[in-house]
Amino acid sequence: MKSLWNDAEAAQLSGPLGPRVYTSRLLGRDKSLVLHGGGNTSVKLREKNLFGEDEDVLYVKGSGWDLETIEAQGFAPVKLDYVRRLASLPALSDPQMVNELATHTLRAGAPAPSIETILHAILPHKYVDHTHADAVLSVSNSPDGEKRIRDIYGERAVVIPYLMAGFDLAAYCAREFPKQATRGTVGMVLLSHGVFSFAGDARESYELMIELVSLAEKYLAAQKAWSIGLPPSPAPAFKREEAAKLRHEVSRAAGFPLLCLCNDSPRFLGFARHPQVGRISQRGPATPDHVIRTKPLPMLGRDVAAFGKAYRDYFETNAKHAKEPKTILDPAPRMALDPELGLAAFGRSAKDTRIVEDLYEHTVEVILRAEALGGWQALEAKHIFDIEYWDLEQAKLKKGGSAPAFAGEVALVTGAASGIGKACAEAFLKRGAAVVGLDRNPAIETLFKRPDYLGVVCDLTSAAAISVAMDAAVKRFGGVDMLVLNAGIFPSSAPVQSIASDAWRSAMTVNVEASLLVMQAAHPLLKLAPRGGRVVVIGSRNVPAPGPGAAAYSASKAALNQLARVAALEWAKDGIRINTIHPDSVYDTALWTEEVLASRAKAYSMTVEQYKKRNLLKTEVASKDVAEMAAEMCGALFAKTTAAQVPVDGGTEKLV
């Protein structure tokens, strides 16, 4: 492991907290040290209070901040002397400890101090760094792990047996650290948890962390336990319906929709096919911080229903160990290992599934290295249960509040690169859904840069291309729950006798046949939607009230409307509801070029401005207006409605 220190970078962060911020970010950059909010750093500073008196302040990483991107305001300032005194108490519940830390934080609006604040306070050094280094965990979670750690570090590190983070751990360290520490001590290892480094200088503390972790890496290499290969594992053809069935069963067991990310990389497949996967994957997480998100259940053959039962059994077994089972909010496993899917990571959001994926990628390496040292050994089951049903963990879940309307669900929108389609993607993202956007425009891929969006370039007139897009959607998010059929074209205006055959065929192909192909591909997935499938068809006012010069467009939209009506009849038995929106006067879309707009206005003997507001309310209808209706049609308000046709057009005289 190499130091990432750069003098020029360090100089850009000034002020008392500048060095602390910089080295925290350096630690956060290395995923073998810190992942997704894990790890802690702190600095002790002497500052003057309002009375001009010197006061010792501990700045410790605040809850909710990630080391890789932390800012100065991400550190919570607490009264150092008071926090140190807490460690001398004979007992203190963790909720009480959190209260004391909160009431002795010196800045209003500061984040909640880390649960390990007291531990940082009792260490007699200005800078303290704490990581969950993969290499150190690999050694400590192997046979004779404590002895190995002591052999590696000698007097350079104090070694502490596993205790759950919180007051008891801090109080134990306050008693034990002075007994073990010598003048040569530069770190501390918490077995099955992580490693600390400390010094009077930010760079020195950071580079001591690099040195301590490097020693563990060198030890593993010397024991031939560093780079562990797995047999080649070529990925089989992805079976999206099986993946969707798995997600359906897990969501049913959890009691709410979950997204599912499938990763069939050679590493995950190789691990899922490991001859001892049933043993090594069930012994616990690499570190306690990962308990909630990396509790795997290997798949039981190819029987997803059996997996769902195992999932529910796991829930019930865990519940028996809780002090107050009725307060348990969400103890279910968040991942599965499968010989064909590789890793299946579950979560209520795409961010959650990515976190599970990242955490377990490192867990695999830790497990394999510990196995090479003689056998992977993680926390005892009782420790895992203690963490899972920890007062603070349950309080955190309760504090999370209600989930967004479409949390854990997936919306697929065709023609999503612009206009109504793009607005629909935004509307579903706003409501917490993961969104898959399909469009022939390459801009679809980068339309939104966020983990809950997947843009796929797709020729919607090709069944093969649609199948590839559906595979991508299911691999990333687990299924399709909501489908918005928006893609369409508006041929140039022409009277019936002058319609070109190519224009007619193009309108029918894009506006009708493409939607049919998407519906056919999506149907098996919509059947497996945890809350029932929903389809919204973006029709047109031209269906009930066609205008002159738009025969090809009107006929194609009418055909699409009939297709939706028949599908509503046939798919109701599958729990799928289908509703149609008939927009009009929506001019911020790709369909309405200046040429088309001028042509349509001329057909009505109007100016362009008159044509834009020719509805009863004399208003312009925007893409966002249609998108909001599409999203609502997929929500609770329309839960008992199917085959409806709703105008969003400002009022059309012909239809009143």
pLDDT of residue 605: 92
Domain of 16, CATH number, reads 3.40.225.10
pLDDT digits (tens, 9 = 90+) for 542-583: 999 998 999 999 999 999 999 999 999 999 999 999 999 999
CA gyration radius for the chain? 30
> Is 43 inside any structural domain?
yes
The residues that are catalytic are 553
Least confident of 132-141, 203-212, 394-403: 394-403
> Is 358 inside any structural domain?
yes
> Is 307 inside any structural domain?
yes
Residue among 163, 134, 141, 127 at smallest CA distance from 34: 134
Residue among 557, 563, 582, 581 at smallest CA distance from 523: 563
Domain of 590, CATH number, reads 3.40.50.720
Q: What is the mean pLDDT of residues 131-146?
A: 95
Name the β-bridge partners of 76: 60
When the pLDDT of each residue in the chain is averaged and rounded to a whole number, the result is 90
Higher-confidence residue: 641 or 320? 641
> Is 234 inside any structural domain?
no
CA distances from 367 to 132, 148, 165, 228, 262 (A): 14, 16, 22, 10, 20
pLDDT at 319 over 70: no
> Is 229 inside any structural domain?
no
> DSSP letter at 547?
-
426 lies in the same domain as 362: no
446 lies in the same domain as 389: no
Q: Number of folded domains in the chain? A: 3
Phi-psi category of residue 301: left, alpha or beta, with phi > 0 → left and psi -120 to 50 → alpha: left
pLDDT of residue 400: 54
pLDDT of residue 323: 47
Which pLDDT band, with edges at 50, 70 and 90, does 593 fall under? confident
Single residue among 339, 367, 399 that ends a domain in this structure: 399
- Residue 87 sits in which domain range? 7-222
187 lies in the same domain as 258: no
pLDDT of residue 311: 60
pLDDT at 389 over 90: no
* Triad 454, 458, 460: Cα angle to 5°: 125
> Is 423 inside any structural domain?
yes
The residue type found at 66 is D
350 lies in the same domain as 462: no
516 lies in the same domain as 649: yes
pLDDT at 392 over 60: no
pLDDT at 399 over 80: no
446 lies in the same domain as 543: yes
Percent of the chain with pLDDT over 70: 89
pLDDT of residue 314: 57
With b meaning 16 or more CB within 10 Å and e meaning fewer, what string describes 241-269? ebbbbbbbbbbbbbeebbbbbbbbeebbb
Higher-confidence residue: 428 or 333? 428
394 lies in the same domain as 422: no
pLDDT digits (tens, 9 = 90+) for 269-284: 999 999 988 888 877 7
Tokens of 540: 């047109």
Tokens of 276: 């001892």
380 lies in the same domain as 470: no
180 lies in the same domain as 149: yes
> Is 124 inside any structural domain?
yes
329 lies in the same domain as 380: yes
Q: What is the mean pLDDT of residues 173-192?
A: 95
pLDDT at 233 over 90: no
pLDDT of residue 401: 58
Which pLDDT band, with edges at 50, 70 and 90, does 324 fall under? very low
